[in-house]
Amino acid sequence: MRTAPTILHLDMDAFFASVEQASKPSLRGKAVIVGGLGPRGVVATCSYEARVFGVHSAMPMAQARRLAPNAAYLVPRFGLYRSISDQVMRLLRALSPLVEPLSLDEAFVDLEAGGAAWDEESALLAGVRLRTDIRAVTGLTGSVGLAASKMLAKIASEQAKPDGLVLIEPGTERALLGPMPVRTLPGVGPATGDHLRRAGITTVEEIAEAGEDELVRLLGKAHGHALYAMALARDDRPVVAERETKSVSVEDTYDVDIHDRIRVALEVQRLADRCVRRLRGAGLSGRTIVLKVRRYDFSTLTRSETLRGPTDDQAVVREAAARLLDSVDTTGGVRLLGVGVSGLADYTQEDLFAQAVGERPEGPAEEEAPESADGATRPVERRWPAGHDVLHTEHGHGWVQGSGLGRVTVRFETPDSVPGRVRTFRTDDPALEPADPLPLVARRPDEAADAEGQDRSSA
C-alpha cells in the first residue's frame, strides 16, 4: 500500500437535488425531493434540508410526502445531470489519467499517477483546489476524501459530507476503522452484515479479532479472506481508468471441447462462483447475468437475464446462469464458457430512469391536436412534468411547479435570476412551450474555449 494519501474520492452532495436547487433560485435552502412521482415512485435523492425530516434515497414517494408535505417534488432530468457529471469528470481528468467513475456523481482519482500529488501536503492542496474548481464550473459542492487506499478515501468523503474534505493520515486507518459498523467495508451488504451479526460480529474491530480462519469459515474463502484484509485496512485495489466496464466477467477456454452436458453445467457453476468473487472483491453488485458459450464451430452466443434487483449472491448468480444454460444447445461440444454480471455502478440511476420513462409525458410530436371525424380539432391534454423547464412567449423562461385539472403553474426564474414569480396557465396555452435546461453557471466565451482545450489535451 502507498504511504501517502494520494487516492482521492469525490462524491457530489445531494447531486440531483443540488442541480435542481442551482437551476431554481426559489428552491435554494429548501426541502427538495427528486424521484418518481407516480403511485409507485421512489425517492432518487433529496436535499439536505429534506433529510432532516427523515427522507432518504429509495424511500417510497408516498412516505416522503407524509414526512415532508411541504417539500418541492420534482421529476428527475437525467440529461442535465449527465451534462453536469461530464463537467465534473473533465475536472478530475485534468488531475490524473487514472480516474475511475463509479456513478454520475462519484469517482476515484489516483493523484500520484497524474503527478498532481505525492505527499500529504500536495494531496490536500489538490483536494482543496478541486472543490473550488467544481464550485466555479458547476456551481455545486462535492465532498472529497483523501487516503492511501480506495476504501479509506471513500470512507473519508462520506465523513466529509456535505461540502467538506477529510484526509485520513496513513497509519491511523485501523484505529479509525475499528469502531465502525461492518457495513462500512466494501462488499458487506445486508446479507453479509446479518450473517456476521449472527456470529456476534458487528464492528470492523470484531472482524479483525475474529481472525482470518473464522472469517473464511463464515463467509467462504474468497470473501472471508478479502474482508479480513479490509478490516485490517489492507486495500491495494488500484484506481482503474475509464471503468466503462459496466460488467464483471470471467471465462475459460478449453483445450479439448467439452461434450458432457453435466460437465458443462459444472463448469458454468464454477465460473459463476468465480465471477461472484470478482464482483465482491470490487465491492460491486449487478442486475444482469450473462452467459457466453462458444461452440465447437466457433459460433458464439450470449444469453442474459435481468433480475429485479442487483445481486452479489453466489446462489442467485449460479441459478440464473444454470437457467440460461438450459436454453443453449451444446451438442457438438463447447470450447469456451463465460459468466458475467453487468448493470453495475449506475444501477440506481438506471432503475429510476426506467421508472421515469414510464411516467414521461408524450413527446411534442404527439401533442398536435388530431382531427376528429367532423374535421374540428380536439384539444389534447398536454402533460407538464414537475420541475421541467418551459418557455413562455411573454414571461420568458421558467419551470413547472405543478399541474392538474387543466392548469399548469409555472415559476419564472433562471439559474442567475432572483427567486421568481408564479403564474398559472391552461395546460393547452399556446404561449407555453417545453424548453431545454439553462446552464447552471453562465459561461464566458473565454471559459468555453478553455474547456475545449482541456478536452483536447486529455484525448
Residues engaged in binding ligand TTP (CB under 6 A) = 11-16, 44-45, 57-58, 103, 105-106, 161-162, 348-349, 352
Helix (H, G, I), strand (E, B) or coil at 312: coil
User: With CB cut-offs between 5 and 8 Å by kind, which of ligand TTP, Mg ion, none does residue 122 bind?
Assistant: none
Q: Which of 20, 49, 100, 106 is catalytic?
A: 106
161 binds, among Mg ion, ligand TTP, none (CB under 5 to 8 A by kind): ligand TTP
**Among residues 5, 7, 11, 280, which is the contact residue for Mg ion, using CB under 5 A?**
11
DSSP 8-class letter at 84: H
* Alpha helices for 307-369 (secondary structure H): 314-326, 347-359
362 is catalytic: no
**Shortest Å distance, C-beta 106 to Mg ion:** 4
Instruction: Please check if 105 is assigned to a binding site.
Output: yes
**Residue nearer to Mg ion on the CB measure, 164 or 434:** 164
15 binds Mg ion (CB under 5 A): yes
Q: How far apart are CA 371 and CA 426, in angstroms?
A: 21
Alpha-carbon distance of 280 to 369, in angstroms, equals 53
Supply the minimum distance, in Å, between the C-beta of residue 372 and Mg ion: 50
- 60: partner contacted, choices Mg ion, ligand TTP, none (Cβ within 5-8 A by kind): none
* CA dist., res. 294 & res. 299, Å (int): 6
Task: Provide CB contacts within 8 A for 415, sequence distance 6+.
Answer: 22, 23, 24, 25, 139, 438, 439, 440, 441, 442
Cβ-based nearer residue to ligand TTP, 313 or 346: 346
Orientation of helix 314-326 relative to helix 261-281, angle to 10°: 140
Q: Considering the complex, what minimum distance in angstroms separates the CB of residue 380 from Mg ion?
A: 39
Nearer to ligand TTP, 157 or 249 (CB): 157
Bridge partners for 60 per DSSP: 42
Least distance (Å) between residue 143 CB and ligand TTP: 7
Residue 105 touches Mg ion, criterion: CB under 5 A: yes
Q: What's the length of the chain?
A: 459
Amino acid 104 reads: L
**Is residue 255 a known part of a binding site?**
no
Q: How far apart are CA 310 and CA 427, in angstroms?
A: 40
CB-nearer residue toward Mg ion: 140 or 408 = 140
φ, ψ for residue 362, nearest 5 deg: -60, 145
Size of site (CB under 5 A) for Mg ion:
5
Hey, is 445 helix, strand or coil?
Answer: helix
Residue 106 or 112 with smaller CB distance to Mg ion: 106
Query: Which residues are catalytic, by number?
Result: 106
Query: Which residues carry a binding-site annotation for Mg(2+)?
Result: 11, 105
